[in-house]
Structure 1
Amino acid sequence: MTGAAAERGELAFVLHTHMPYVEGYGTWPFGEEWLWEAIATCYLPLLDVLDEGAPVTLSLTPVLADQLAAPGLVERFAAFLRDVRRETHRIDVAGCREGGREAWAQELERAAGDYERALARVEQMRDGELLEAFAAHAAWTSSATHAVLPLLATDAGVRLQLETGIAGHRARFDRDGREWRGGFWLPECAHAPWLDPLLEEAGVHAVCVDLTDVLGRGAAQQLAPLQSADGPLLVPIDRATIELVWSDGGYPAHPLYRDYHAFTVHHHRVWSNAGETYDVEAARAQARADAADFVRRTIARLDAGSAALGRPALAVCAIDTELLGHWWYEGIDWMRAVIDEAGRQGLALATLDDALARHAPVPLAGVVGGGRGELPTTTWGTPRDLSTWDGPQVADLAWQARAAELRTLGGRRRPSPRAQRELLALQASDWAFQVSRELAGPYPRERATGHLAALEHALAADADGDGAHGDGAVRSLAPHLAAGVALPTSH
């Protein structure tokens, strides 16, 4: 960076890429179809942008990597595209034409091309190649199964999640001169100060945190990394930047964009947010306009922040990757346009690892807690606490997971790999999140109940000395299971 761009600082996109463990756990309406849709509409198009050299930080959860590496993935994904998506588009097109809705039929035929292009790509792949395509881009990792770490009951449970996830990332992506640099996405951005020494012990050097309610929305202090006393850098995500994209009034709500929530009979989308037949060219033009607006606003944010801080600012725009292309159909077009506009308008983009090497951290004690550096437990949930995952609606799930963790890791005998994997699956944040948001009917409770029952079976087999042979339904989960766990310390 030189000149005005160097003085204003830079923007770092962090894309958090995650999918719960759905391999073999249902198809329609919940289960593996989630993974197939994400690959077709988000991951494959995003890889094209990343391969063009986009300076974006990609966080890839170990549980998603487990599924992308699973045997038979290519065949099952291709079958979904060929036997389900191709056929359901055909039926909906015919129905629209029979009903005199030619414009809808034509839009469905156009949209079907998205899946046909994905099919053409995947038919040229072998198992493992899709994960391999991420190898040059997956810079940050996460816990093994996306557990909300502050809700775990023991240090041993935290270590099992951390070490298993990090071991999987290193085994898959540390090669050809690339090496993990210690970037770690805290699931749900959930941070508690007692985690810091455990994170540092595991080799974590930087995490993102949501301090909006601690520092204040739009505060300049959101634009500098913070040095914790006992662990890694705490990098605030910048809600003032993020909410341009991800909020009720953000760009995806524009009337011209495709409506994610309105479906045809076979779950396809032909309407804009305004209720009109979707016009892809008008939407793409709007994506370019919104990209230009985003860059202008981010430059203003950085300029003001740098002036207030007396040093170049660092804005971190962290979003779930699946927003791009899946939830927000035009999101990939917008991302590509932002990269182009940044060059034209003089906005410096950087990967977060590179940016952190240029931005000296501010001591946490000098920013929060009246000089003591004390932080509350925070998340990027609504509200920014743990209630999405331990509130009244899901308290039973939180308590049963903690009790199961104590039973599994609290004895003198090391639990079998089968028991550890079922515990990891039970601890996933996804089940409580889906229950709290009423997103998937009975599915998340069925998943939590099933993993708990399988864990109890495995523990009983461990106690009998028989062991729990094989990995059951969690066949591809956590193949790089941590080598050992210490006796727990409860929280």
Structure 2
Amino acid sequence: MTDTAVPGQFTLVLHSHLPWLSRHGRWPVGEEWLYQSWASSYLPVAQVLRNLAAEGRSHLLSLGITPVLAAQLDDPHCLAGMHHWLGNWRLRADEAAMAGNRALGHYEHRLATAALADFEQRWRHGGSPVWRELIDAEAIELLGGPLAHPFQPLLDSRLRSFELTEGLADARQRWGHTPSGIWAPECGFTPGMEATYAAAGVTHFMVDGPALRGDTTLGRPVRDSPVLAFGRDLQVSYRVWSPKSGYPGQPQYRDFHHYDHETGLKPARVTGKQVAGPDKAPYDPDLAATAVRRDVEDFVRTVRERLIGESARIGRPALVVAAFDTELFGHWWHEGPQWLEQVLRALPEAGVTVGTLADARARGYVGEPVPLADSSWGSGKDWRVWAGEPVRDLVELNAEIVRLALDTLDKMRVQADGVRDPVADQLLREAILAVSSDWAFMVSKDSAAGYARDRAHQHAHAVREIAAAVTGGQLAKAGQLAAGWYAADGLFPALDARRLEGPV
């Protein structure tokens, strides 16, 4: 039975992103991270959206897919690696069963077999056909973003503009659709970026709730621009996932951190936050399924109450936006895709209007302009994760590398004859990889910090040696270096340095 309709609109936003991992290590950080997220999140989340679309449901959520992730989901090397990984997953499940853990082994075997069939049927030619089917069916609104996920507030304005316009063009190339909305990397913002967005054709973007002083009930034009900032409702979002609580930490759900080291499988449920890994209870899918139903009911109740309360507070129908990393659903929270599918069915049945950010804009969920200030969705909601003392060296490295790359490209421009130059293209490609926001994030959070620093310095080294060859007049050497780096970092083959704005 449908509950009484409530005022306003609920919007779910998912942000899908991983840094460029192809050919840059395998384990414990590298391609394994990509394949785990692909198998655990991207495959099942796409299946959930297909299931709902097949029921005639549309405008389900706004899905951000960063260009650098999209590039990996289309990359032939990654596609082959993923197929191999899925086969290996099934073998590991069989090993668990033969080693005596029959319940775990059989459960994992079923999951791996289904994932392998799904991948072979739908994904072997890349992720683009999968996402395009959902975009064309209007099941989702696609959100785009800058090419390699830079922390934009700290980025040179020329490179910031280039990454954004090229990121939107990359989306059109893959999916036949240019996003009008974006997920700003790390929700990072500094005044003036709204003008860059407007110039690129972006009509709306995401910020975290505190950037709007917690009033996220309406999209807000930024200063005197037509570009809307939509804010994440922390009260609702933290119900699912927060630094200290949320559904995935409940005792019945699968424990993310505890592994069976022989097979790499996860045999336990959370059990209790103070319970050591070996002492945790075995995972029980039926027990977890019951918990999913409980938490779906809780979330629907939370959204209804929030919409009713906020609509009454502002005197008009309110917007509630919950936003999460896509990788939460399946990778971090094993039961997340189940919960997602049930929630997207249950909300309309409970009288909640579900729509995308574009729907909110079209339906007039727009308030007064806001003088948006420096902000992010990181710790402290400021820039400390990407600009704080622990990553001061990376901030300085980024500034040096961007300056070197742009200066070298400007000199090459003087000598250019109008023909596309693969050396210039690779120089620019390595520079944007060097300034990915992921490296500083991983260092600040002490998550594979050594790998992150190595990656930043590796791409910086590529820029330095290509630039040195160019400025030293060693053009043949520069060509050889560029070709060598392209073999590892050949993402965005359409990237063309000639489209970079010249110096002001």
TM-score scaled by structure 2?
0.87
Partner of residue 245, structure 2? 249
Partner of residue 22, structure 2? 23
Q: Counterparts of 1:311-460 in structure 2 under 5 Å?
A: 311-365=316-370, 373=371, 375-410=372-407, 411-414=410-413, 416-460=424-468
**In 2: Cα distance, 1:111 partner to 1:382 partner:** 36
**In 2: Cα distance, 1:211 partner to 1:12 partner:** 14
Partner of residue 255, structure 2? 259
Alpha-carbon contact 1:422-1:474 (below 8 Å) kept = no
Partner of residue 167, structure 1? 169
**One-letter code aligned to 1:258:** R
String of CA shifts for 1:4-61, please: whole Å, max 9, x gaps: 63x6101111110111101111111111111111111111111111112261111110
**In 2: Cα distance, 1:390 partner to 1:379 partner:** 11
**Do the aligned partners of residues 307 and 385 (structure 1) sit closer, same or farther apart at CA in structure 2, a change above 3 Å counting?**
same
Using the TM superposition, give the Cα deviation of residue 236 of structure 1 relative to its aligned residue in structure 2, in angstroms: 1.0
When structure 1 is superposed on structure 2, of 436-445 and 7-16 the one drifting more is 436-445
Using the TM superposition, give the Cα deviation of residue 299 of structure 1 relative to its aligned residue in structure 2, in angstroms: 0.8
When structure 1 is superposed on structure 2, of 250-259 and 475-484 the one drifting more is 475-484
Partner SS for 2:259:
coil
**In 1: Cα distance, 2:22 partner to 2:373 partner:** 36
Partner of residue 64, structure 1? 69
Alignment of 1:486 with 2:483, yes or no, is: no
How many residues are treated as equivalent by the alignment?
Answer: 462
Using the TM superposition, give the Cα deviation of residue 91 of structure 1 relative to its aligned residue in structure 2, in angstroms: 3.5
Alpha-carbon contact 2:96-2:104 (below 8 Å) kept = no
Which residue of 86, 91, 109 corresponds with 1:87?
Answer: 91
String of CA shifts for 1:393-413, please: whole Å, max 9, x gaps: 111112101111111113343
**In 1: Cα distance, 2:340 partner to 2:123 partner:** 29
Which structure 2 segments of 5+ residues have no match? 136-140, 272-279, 414-422
Partner of residue 476, structure 1? 490
Alpha-carbon contact 2:95-2:105 (below 8 Å) kept = no
**One-letter code aligned to 1:28:** W
String of CA shifts for 1:297-334, please: whole Å, max 9, x gaps: 11110111111111111111110001001100010010
**In 2: Cα distance, 1:488 partner to 1:439 partner:** 37
Q: Counterparts of 1:274-285 in structure 2 under 5 Å?
A: 274=271, 275-285=280-290
Partner SS for 2:390:
coil
Which residue of 205, 222, 228 corresponds with 2:216?
Answer: 222
**One-letter code aligned to 1:235:** F
When structure 1 is superposed on structure 2, of 131-140 and 32-41 the one drifting more is 131-140
String of CA shifts for 1:113-136, please: whole Å, max 9, x gaps: 222211122234574343210113
Alpha-carbon contact 2:13-2:324 (below 8 Å) kept = yes
Which is helix-richer, 1 or 2?
2
Partner of residue 190, structure 1? 188
Partner SS for 1:244:
helix
String of CA shifts for 1:187-222, please: whole Å, max 9, x gaps: 011111121111111111100111326514xxxx31
**One-letter code aligned to 2:9:** E
**In 2: Cα distance, 1:151 partner to 1:126 partner:** 36
**In 2: Cα distance, 1:46 partner to 1:297 partner:** 23
Alpha-carbon contact 1:211-1:378 (below 8 Å) kept = no
String of CA shifts for 1:336-372, please: whole Å, max 9, x gaps: 111121122111111211121002422224xxxxxxx
Partner of residue 369, structure 1? none
Q: Counterparts of 1:51-200 in structure 2 under 5 Å?
A: 51=50, 52-53=52-53, 55-82=60-87, 84-95=88-99, 97=100, 104-124=101-121, 127-135=124-132, 136-137=134-135, 139-152=142-155, 154-174=156-176, 179-200=177-198
**One-letter code aligned to 2:152:** L
**One-letter code aligned to 2:260:** T
Alpha-carbon contact 1:434-1:440 (below 8 Å) kept = yes
Alpha-carbon contact 1:196-1:230 (below 8 Å) kept = no
Using the TM superposition, give the Cα deviation of residue 441 of structure 1 relative to its aligned residue in structure 2, in angstroms: 4.8
Partner SS for 2:352:
coil
Partner of residue 370, structure 1? none
String of CA shifts for 1:413-470, please: whole Å, max 9, x gaps: 3470000100111111111111111222521111111111111122123322444343
**Do the aligned partners of residues 94 and 3 (structure 1) sit closer, same or farther apart at CA in structure 2, a change above 3 Å counting?**
closer
Partner SS for 2:71:
helix
Partner of residue 232, structure 2? 237
Partner SS for 2:10:
strand
Which structure 1 segments of 5+ residues have no match? 98-103, 366-372
**In 1: Cα distance, 2:391 partner to 2:72 partner:** 27
String of CA shifts for 1:209-268, please: whole Å, max 9, x gaps: 11326514xxxx311000112441111111111001111211111110011111111331
**One-letter code aligned to 2:145:** S
**In 1: Cα distance, 2:355 partner to 2:387 partner:** 36
**In 1: Cα distance, 2:247 partner to 2:119 partner:** 31
**In 2: Cα distance, 1:160 partner to 1:461 partner:** 24
Partner of residue 275, structure 2? none
Partner of residue 299, structure 2? 294
Partner SS for 1:170:
helix
**What percentage of residue pairs aligned between the two structures are identical?**
32
Partner SS for 1:13:
strand
**One-letter code aligned to 1:245:** V
Partner SS for 2:64:
strand
TM-score scaled by structure 1?
0.89
When structure 1 is superposed on structure 2, of 228-237 and 465-474 the one drifting more is 465-474
**In 2: Cα distance, 1:225 partner to 1:272 partner:** 40
